[in-house]
Amino acid sequence: MQINDRVVLITGGKRIGAVIAAELAARGADVALSYGRSRDEAEQTAATVRAAGRRAFVRQADVTKPADCEALVAETVAALDRLDILVNMASVYRRKPFDELTPEDWDADLAVDLKAAFLCARAAVPHMRKGGGGRIVNFADWVAASGRPRYTGYVPYYVAKAGVIALTEVLALELAADQILVNAIAPGPIVAPPGTTAEEMKSVEQATPLGRWGGELEIAKAVIGLVETDFITGETIRVDGGRHIK
């Protein structure tokens, strides 16, 4: 799929999402962005898209709710005329020991990390069909893509991201006849979370075969590749500097 003159919806407009939006806009895409609480960051990303000469649309949405996902997609199409590409980035990453987990924690984390991707895809697919095809890019995690947990305290997160991989595969099969290609990206050490110490950053570098953090642009490159391909579907691509092989 050519990116020029396509419309992309990204659920998340800061940090990595902001770079993805900028790179797609630079290649001629119009960009819609949803946000939960980070309105300022989403608006800044939209300004970057407009500075590249492309249209941008920003909307607050709780992507764990079907009605919000339907409205987000409908308003994106109303504002930008179509929808070709969905990038499901909404995610929550928090550590909580197993003995402290509640059913409410479980439901809340899986709703953001897994259910939201299904709901947004469900809302987007009819519009992609009208356009003759589309691309859906989900976000998993390098640990889940490696097939085994490595860190304690992330039970709902790991289960959800493993579910994203399964969702990606089954949607790729379900939607293949519609020429809607569905793939996932499993990031590794891309950008350090806020509060990461110098010692922690060095430890990650030492555990990564390429010896460094990847940076947001590497994820944007992967998204672009999965949008432009016409024959890759149902795959989860690790972007982790070889972290999974060490």
Q: Please write the tens of the pLDDT for every residue from 179-227.
A: 999 999 999 999 998 889 999 999 999 999 999 999 999 999 999 999 9
- CATH (domain of 208): 3.40.50.720
The torsion of the CA quartet 5, 42, 235, 123, rounded to 10 degrees, works out to -80
Sheet of 85-88, strands arranged across: 56-60, 30-35, 7-11, 85-88, 134-139, 180-187, 236-239
Cβ count within 10 A of residue 103 = 7
pLDDT over 80 (residue 8)? yes
3-state secondary structure of 132: coil
pTM: 0.97
In a domain, 78, yes or no: yes
Identify the pLDDT of residue 52: 98
Q: Are 181 and 136 in contact (CB under 8 A)?
A: yes
In a domain, 15, yes or no: yes
In a domain, 233, yes or no: yes
Q: How far apart are CA 36 and CA 64, in angstroms?
A: 10
In a domain, 229, yes or no: yes
**Left if phi > 0, otherwise alpha if psi is -120 to 50, otherwise beta: which for 96?**
beta
Quick one: pLDDT band at residue 12, thresholds 50, 70, 90? confident
Whether 157 is catalytic is yes
In a domain, 26, yes or no: yes
In a domain, 2, yes or no: no
Q: Are 138 and 184 in contact (CB under 8 A)?
A: yes
**Given the residues 35, 151, 154, 157, the one annotated as active site:** 157
95-109 average pLDDT score:
97
In a domain, 176, yes or no: yes
Share of the chain above pLDDT 90, in %: 95
Q: Are 66 and 119 in contact (CB under 8 A)?
A: yes
Number of structural domains the chain divides into: 1
Cβ count within 10 A of residue 22 = 20
3-state secondary structure of 35: strand
Residues 204-232: b if buried by 16+ CB within 10 A, e if exposed: beeebeeeebbebebbbebbbebbeeeee
Find the domain containing 157 and state its range: 7-245
- Burial bucket for residue 28 (CB in 10 Å: 0-12, 13-18, 19+): middle
Rg (alpha carbons) of the chain, rounded to whole number: 17
In a domain, 1, yes or no: no
Q: Please write the tens of the pLDDT for every residue from 153-178.
A: 999 999 999 999 999 999 999 999 99
89-107 average pLDDT score:
96
87-113 average pLDDT score:
96
Q: Please write the tens of the pLDDT for every residue from 26-68.
A: 999 999 999 998 899 999 999 999 999 999 999 999 999 999 9
Q: What is the mean pLDDT of the chain?
A: 96
Q: How far apart are CA 153 and CA 151, in angstroms?
A: 7
How many Cα atoms are found within 13 Å in the side-chain-facing hemisphere of 87? 28
pLDDT over 90 (residue 246)? no
Helix-helix angle 155-175:103-110, to 10 degrees: 40
